[in-house]
């Protein structure tokens, strides 16, 4: 999605802006631009395509401005062409605006402005903003801040903006209406960005604007107001991230680095959430899991609903399985984009869980906000209990939810989610085990067994990476030329892994892939099969293993090439069924999804690399989907 960077201070703005945009590139974009003010003049440079195009143009047009705004655009209204790239300017070339989000009523504002003689240079929704600000400044004695405030009161939709004005060269105005924007505090210099990754090289003191807030930034400091003009007093917090987290560190792609970070992520998550002093045989009166959630929450859950999108939805689907099977709590899962328009009936004592790696997905945030709003007027047993499962506790979802499980995955740069998925899944294991302990739905012995199994997971992921990476790379060569479709099948707790394998393949290799519960194949999808359509079966030993094998045999009988993901203990038997066997170390079925997904991540990664595709920034996709 679009990225915003802003700077005001004593350094040369352009380099700070462009390097900030480079750090936001992972979010996805198709054009970029910066606007700066020097010697009272606004200078705006934009370019279609990758950021090096913008850099080239900027090298020909050097300014030493100390204030500026920059933007990477992910096209929504208007094609990805230079004239639609941000910043957008008013007709007098005084005011420059960058926006992330959508101004929903832009058509009527455009008509209104056109009737007043304004000529538009783009097809974007954003261009109405500088023209409106300009009109308010010309028609009245409003200050710059007041004119921006007044303009915002005319805008409908979810957006964040940053604005500069050549007539006020010491002010940068930033506002938030449901799209994220964070301020960064340096020594005599201030920053803003739609994502803290752009701020990390400069400062770790950050403050996220809340909805309905506007900030006036000057070299002397930052003032924050509500849209209705009340001054707000808030303090920055210090991030404990280091800039190394957003470097490739010798890996060819961020995605590969993040796949290899998974053992470490799981270790740090286990260290954070497993209680080391818990021993089943001592019958402890505290939980083996240390989530820090209030006991009041546990006493009051009769029903759980999960909302999420994409890969996070797949993590939620595993979560549903665990919460029902381990803790015995009826659980539903919905796509957030559907839920917000067709919510479930309001049930008392409901826990609503939002799952998101960016913490900013517009649909997930809107579904949670809607849930909170519709319950707020009801009696206490209906009140919303919102839990976020996210690696970005500082994000919008972190501000919105009263409970958070920080998955400890840190920031993820590759657009295809890998380590954040595993970490979200672990979050659900902890929640389900903790609830199972509190509700006594599992014996202490069974809890110990599962927890011991979890402790082996980091080593098993390492082993999978060591033993499978090269073999999967070899295998990948066979699917890069003529393969147009893939089918993934799985059952029970591993059906979501089939879905996730298919999504990863679609996203980065652009090969059409579908996933089905293995038992559903014969109810229709089996008609798709022939020798040209490989079938990947997630066949982890356990309660549904034989069923998956027999479903796979049905595919084989239709000439499909069969690839099996199974346990290393099972390899000889599996070789009778599968043409290719991808193995993970032995693991009990309940924990098997955490391992089974690894070979599928590697398969999609290697196919995409061999096809020469942009693994970290696949076409049309964005890391943080902040529009509906
Ligand atoms: C897939 C992927 C997307 C996201 C989806 C939700 O690799 O990354 O499908 O899972 O856009 O994003 P978050 O988790 O940020 O809410």
Mean pLDDT of 485-511: 97
Q: Is the dihedral of CA 78, 79, 80, 83 positive or negative?
A: negative
Please report the pLDDT score of residue 27 as a whole number: 78
Burial of 316 (0-12, 13-18, 19+ CB in 10 A): buried
User: With the CA atoms of 8, 14, 19 and 20 taken in that order, what torsion angle do they form, in degrees rounded to the nearest 10?
Assistant: 30
Ligand 1 atom with least separation from CA of 361? 16
Please report the pLDDT score of residue 60 as a whole number: 83
d(CA 438, CA 294) in angstroms, rounded, equals 12
Count CA atoms closer than 13 A to 594's CA, side-chain side: 34
Q: Is the CB of 395 under 6 A from ligand 1?
A: no
d(CA 469, CA 457) in angstroms, rounded, equals 17
pLDDT tens-place string over residues 557-571:
888 999 999 999 888
Please report the pLDDT score of residue 80 as a whole number: 83
Strand order in the sheet with 580-584: 512-517, 485-490, 535-538, 562-567, 580-584
pLDDT tens-place string over residues 316-325:
999 999 999 9
Q: Is 555 helix (H, G, I), strand (E, B) or coil?
A: helix
Q: Is the CB of 357 under 6 A from ligand 1?
A: yes
With a cut of 90, say whether residue 349 has pLDDT above it: yes
d(CA 618, CA 612) in angstroms, rounded, equals 11
3-state secondary structure 422-476: HHHHHHHHHHHHHHHHHHCCCCHHHHHHHHHHHHHHHHHHHHHHHHHHHHHHHHH
With a cut of 90, say whether residue 386 has pLDDT above it: yes
Please report the pLDDT score of residue 243 as a whole number: 66
Structure tokens at 224: 């924050």
Pick the most confident of 72-86, 336-350, 520-534.
Answer: 336-350
Say how many Å lie between the first and final Cα of the chain, rounded: 11
Q: Is 417 helix (H, G, I), strand (E, B) or coil?
A: coil
Band (77; pLDDT cuts 50, 70, 90)? confident
Ramachandran quadrant class, 87 (left: phi over 0; alpha: psi -120 to 50; beta: rest): beta
Nearest to 202 by CA among 219, 220, 222, 185: 185
- One DSSP character per residue, 504-538 reads HHHHHH--EEEEEEGGGGGGTGGGG-STTS-EEEE
Tell me how far the alpha carbon of residue 616 lies from the centroid of ligand 1, in angstroms.
14
Strand partners for 353 = 306, 387
With a cut of 90, say whether residue 247 has pLDDT above it: no
Q: Whose CA is nearest to atom 11 of ligand 1?
A: 310
Supply the mean pLDDT for the chain. 93
Q: Is the CB of 389 under 6 A from ligand 1?
A: no
Are 319 and 356 spatial neighbours (Cβ–Cβ below 8 Å)? Answer: no
Alpha helices (H) in 557-591, listed in sequence order = 571-577
With a cut of 70, say whether residue 110 has pLDDT above it: yes
With a cut of 80, say whether residue 246 has pLDDT above it: no
Tell me how far the alpha carbon of residue 136 lies from the centroid of ligand 1, in angstroms.
40
Report, as residue numbers or ranges, the catalytic residues.
2, 623
Please report the pLDDT score of residue 628 as a whole number: 76
Mean pLDDT of 79-86: 90
pLDDT tens-place string over residues 63-72:
889 999 999 9
Q: Is the CB of 361 under 6 A from ligand 1?
A: yes
The length of the chain is: 628
Count of C-beta atoms within a 10 Å radius of residue 130: 26
419-439 vs 310-325: helix crossing angle, rounded to 10 = 20
Please report the pLDDT score of residue 595 as a whole number: 98
d(CA 621, CA 437) in angstroms, rounded, equals 40
Residue with the bigger pLDDT between 591 and 298: it is: 591
Q: Is the dihedral of CA 145, 151, 153, 159 positive or negative?
A: negative
Please report the pLDDT score of residue 64 as a whole number: 87
Q: Is the CB of 358 under 6 A from ligand 1?
A: yes
3-state secondary structure 390-416: ECCCCCHHHHHCCEEEECCCCCCCCCC
Mean pLDDT of 451-467: 97
The model's pTM is 0.84
Tell me how far the alpha carbon of residue 317 lies from the centroid of ligand 1, in angstroms.
14
Q: Is the CB of 625 under 6 A from ligand 1?
A: yes
Mean pLDDT of 157-185: 95
Ligand 1 atom with least separation from CA of 336? 16
pLDDT tens-place string over residues 260-276:
999 999 999 999 999 99
User: With the CA atoms of 143, 147, 153 and 155 taken in that order, what torsion angle do they form, in degrees rounded to the nearest 10?
Assistant: -160
With a cut of 80, say whether residue 395 has pLDDT above it: yes
d(CA 169, CA 161) in angstroms, rounded, equals 17
Residue with the bigger pLDDT between 625 and 412: it is: 412
Q: Is 31 helix (H, G, I), strand (E, B) or coil?
A: strand
Please report the pLDDT score of residue 333 as a whole number: 98
With a cut of 70, say whether residue 98 has pLDDT above it: yes
With a cut of 70, say whether residue 242 has pLDDT above it: no
Tell me how far the alpha carbon of residue 623 lies from the centroid of ligand 1, in angstroms.
7
Q: Is the CB of 409 under 6 A from ligand 1?
A: no
With a cut of 90, say whether residue 354 has pLDDT above it: yes
Tell me how far the alpha carbon of residue 388 lies from the centroid of ligand 1, in angstroms.
15
Q: Whose CA is nearest to atom 16 of ligand 1?
A: 356
């Amino acid at each position: 999605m679009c990225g915003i960077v802003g700077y005001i201070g004593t350094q040369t703005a352009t380099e700070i802006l462009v390097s900030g945009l480079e750090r936001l590139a992972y979010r996805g974009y198709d054009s970029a631009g910066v606007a700066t003010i020097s010697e009272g003049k606004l200078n705006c440079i934009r370019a279609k395509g990758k950021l090096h195009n913008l850099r080239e143009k900027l090298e020909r047009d050097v300014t030493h401005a100390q204030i500026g705004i920059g933007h990477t655009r992910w096209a929504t209204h208007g094609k990805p062409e230079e004239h639609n790239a941000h910043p957008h300017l008013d007709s007098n070339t005084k005011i420059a605006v960058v926006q992330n989000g959508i101004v929903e009523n832009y058509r009527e504002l455009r008509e209104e402005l056109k009737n007043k003689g304004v000529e538009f240079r783009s097809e974007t929704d954003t261009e109405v903003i500088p023209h409106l600000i300009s009109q308010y400044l010309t028609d009245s004695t409003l200050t710059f801040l007041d004119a921006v405030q007044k303009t915002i009161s005319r805008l409908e939709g979810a957006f964040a903006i940053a604005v500069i004005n050549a007539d006020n060269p010491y002010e940068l105005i930033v506002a938030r209406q449901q799209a994220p924007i964070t301020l960064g505090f340096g020594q005599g210099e201030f920053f803003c960005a739609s994502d803290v990754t752009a701020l990390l090289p400069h400062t770790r003191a950050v403050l996220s604007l809340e909805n309905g807030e506007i900030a006036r930034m000057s070299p002397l400091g930052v003032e924050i107001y509500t849209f209705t003009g009340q001054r707000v007093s808030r303090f920055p917090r210090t991030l404990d991230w280091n800039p190394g987290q957003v470097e490739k560190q010798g890996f060819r792609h961020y995605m590969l680095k993040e796949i290899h970070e998974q053992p470490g992520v799981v270790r740090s998550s286990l260290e954070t959430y497993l209680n080391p002093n818990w021993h089943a045989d001592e019958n402890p009166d505290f939980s083996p899991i240390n989530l820090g959630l209030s006991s009041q929450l546990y006493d009051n859950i009769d029903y759980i609903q999960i909302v999420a999108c994409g890969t996070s939805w797949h993590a939620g689907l595993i979560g549903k399985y665990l919460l029902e099977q381990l803790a015995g709590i009826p659980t539903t899962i919905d796509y957030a984009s559907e839920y917000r328009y067709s919510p479930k009936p309001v049930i008392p004592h409901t826990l609503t869980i939002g799952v998101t790696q960016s913490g900013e997905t517009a649909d997930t945030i809107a579904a949670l906000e809607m849930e909170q709003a519709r319950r707020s007027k009801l009696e206490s047993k209906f009140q919303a209990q919102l839990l976020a499962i996210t690696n970005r506790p500082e994000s919008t979802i972190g501000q919105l939810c009263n409970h958070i499980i920080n998955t400890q995955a840190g920031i993820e740069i590759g657009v295809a989610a890998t380590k954040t998925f595993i970490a979200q899944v672990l979050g659900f294991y902890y929640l389900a085990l903790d609830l199972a302990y509190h509700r006594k739905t599992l014996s202490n012995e069974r809890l110990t067994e599962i927890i011991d199994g979890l402790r082996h997971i980091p080593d098993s992921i390492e082993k999978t990476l060591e033993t499978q990476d090269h073999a999967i790379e070899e295998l990948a060569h066979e699917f890069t030329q003529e393969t147009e479709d893939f089918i993934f099948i799985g059952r029970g707790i591993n059906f979501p892994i089939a879905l996730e394998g298919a999504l990863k393949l679609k996203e980065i290799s652009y090969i059409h892939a579908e996933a089905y519960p293995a038992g559903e194949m014969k109810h229709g999808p089996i008609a798709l099969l022939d020798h040209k359509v490989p079938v990947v079966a997630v066949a982890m030993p356990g309660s549904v293993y034989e069923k998956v094998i027999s479903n796979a045999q049905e595919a084989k009988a239709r000439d499909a090439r069969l690839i099996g993901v199974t346990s290393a203990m099972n390899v000889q038997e599996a070789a009778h069924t599968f043409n290719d066997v991808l193995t993970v170390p032995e693991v009990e079925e309940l924990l098997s999804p955490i391992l089974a997904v690894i070979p599928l991540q590697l398969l999609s990664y290697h196919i995409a690399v061999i096809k020469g595709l942009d693994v970290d920034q696949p076409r049309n996709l964005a890391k943080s989907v902040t529009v509906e």
